[in-house]
Amino acid sequence: MRRTRANPAILGGLAVLFCGTAGAGQRFEPPDGRVLHGLGQYVALFYSDAENWQYVSEYEQAVGHVPLIYAAYRPINPLAAVLDTTDLQDLVAGHGRPYHLNLGIYYTDPNGAIDVAAILSGQWDAVIADLADEVAGLGVPCFVRPGFEFGAADGVHGALSGPEFVAIWHHLRAVFAARGATNVAWVWNAVNPASFDYTAYYPGDEAVDWWGINYFTVSQMTASEQFVVDAAAHGKPVMVCESCPITGGGTTNPDNWQAWFVPYFQTIARHPHIKAFTYISDPWDRPGFWESWPDTRIDANELIRANYAAELAAPRYVHLDPDRPGDIDGDGDVDLADLAGLLSCYGACLSDGRYDPVCDLDHDGCVELADLAALLAGYGG
Ligand SMILES: [Ca+2]
Ligand SMILES: [Ca+2]
């Protein structure tokens, strides 16, 4: 392996030549043509820890790949925070997988109310600072989505006005910045954005890294088209933050492959700037949980499982597989274009805007010689 002995300083120089091939967009944005594979969701109030990891294991076995991103939630309302037992460190480090986090941050108290004045006057800052410290200590990319599902009347944070939402957003960012939480991409996550003026809720291009959208029905995919198109106009990649079929029997009905999954993956393919998705593979109908929604576990029906696994076998999807090949651009081979892609983020770690999880082949938080060696080991393949 003659090439693996190359001097890192020389490689740094080469990286300048190839600058812009990968890692050149928003925080943790993969190269064009790649889509980050995510799974949801960890809800401590609904499942025991053991039950949750059973679902994760079953999903990974059914799909044949480990998702790169795993979704969880965290309240910052002091009245609700004491009820939440989600252990973020355990999520990313306790199961042999350094999952990247898709973290929904919610503001509501146990009665669904949000005390905006308390947030903006700093009364929640201790909780926010604790969360920022926790996130900073995780050592993995964290896609945080504060106040997710804002604006829409049926959204989790639908009670907030645009100015309130924006003010809280900037307040959170300031506390995170003060605590040195730099391993964060800020995701502006809407649901049903055609039902309200979402522009009134926009914190601004400088304060947002990704736009986010949730798809539970096909009509939501259709009605959210303008929002997705607008993201591209702002130069932002889009994450599908929460998604699964909640009509027609979920994944227990094989007809939902054509009815829901086909338009779902067509939507992702039609918009190349949709660069991440999180599929929620959950038994929603389990007694005591979200009983009116169906089972959406990907292995509930064999036809859906097989088709979903075949879709995710395409090289454009980015997994957390331990033996991930060095196909940085996701075109099915490992060649000079992939070497150029990796070199464009060579030397970058999590706090560096050039860091790209696609290039970090060994998932240790930095793009270094070990990643280059892994790429070269499969070069020409
Ligand atoms: Ca390639
Ligand atoms: Ca690495």
- Residue 130 falls inside a structural domain: yes
Looking at all shown ligands, the one closest to residue 358's CA atom is 2
Coil, helix or strand at residue 115: coil
Which of 315, 350, 368 is a domain's end point?
Answer: 315
Q: Are residues 367 and 224 in the same domain?
A: no
Rounded CA gap, 159 and 73, in Å? 19
Of the listed ligands, the closest to the CA of 368 is 2
CA of 358 to the centre of ligand 2 (A): 10
Q: Using one digit for the tens of pLDDT, what is the confidence trace for 189-243?
A: 999 999 999 999 999 999 999 999 999 999 999 999 999 999 999 999 999 999 9
Q: Which of 315, 334, 366 is the last residue of a domain?
A: 315
Please state, in angstroms and rounded to a whole number, the distance separating the CA atoms of residues 250 and 57.
20
- Under the banding of pLDDT at 50, 70 and 90, the label for residue 45 is confident
Alpha carbon of 67 to ligand 1 centroid (Å)? 20
Query: Based on the domain organization, do 187 and 329 belong to the same domain?
Result: no
The answer on pLDDT for 37 being more than 80 is yes
Strands 317-318, 69-75: pairing is unpaired
Question: Whose atoms come closest to the Cα of 379: which ligand?
Answer: 1
Has residue 226 been placed in a domain? yes
Which pLDDT belongs to residue 22?
52
Buried b (16+ CB within 10 A) or exposed e, 307-337: bbeebbeeebbbbbbeebbbbbbbeebbeeb
Residues 150 and 14 in one domain: no
139 touches 365 (CB < 8 A)? yes
Residues 163 and 296 both lie in one domain: yes
Q: Is residue 7's pLDDT more than 60?
A: no
How far does the centroid of ligand 1 lie from the alpha carbon of residue 2, in Å? 21
Co-location of 192 and 117 in the same domain: yes
Does residue 8 surpass a pLDDT of 60? no
Distance 362 CA to ligand 2 centre (A): 5
Distance 379 CA to ligand 1 centre (A): 10
Q: In this model, does residue 9 exceed pLDDT 80?
A: no
CATH code of the domain covering residue 279 = 3.20.20.80
What domain count does the chain have? 2
Within a domain: 28: no
- Overall average pLDDT of the 90-101 stretch: 93
Residue 125 and residue 42 share a domain: yes
Residue 328 and residue 307 share a domain: no
- Give a yes or no: residue 40 inside a domain: yes
Residue 24 has pLDDT above 70, yes or no: no
- Nearest ligand to the CA of 328 is 1
| Domain span at 340 | 2-23+324-377
**Nearest Cα to 208, choosing from 278, 157, 281, 147?**
147
Q: Tell me: the pLDDT tens digits for 109-128?
A: 988 899 999 999 999 999 99
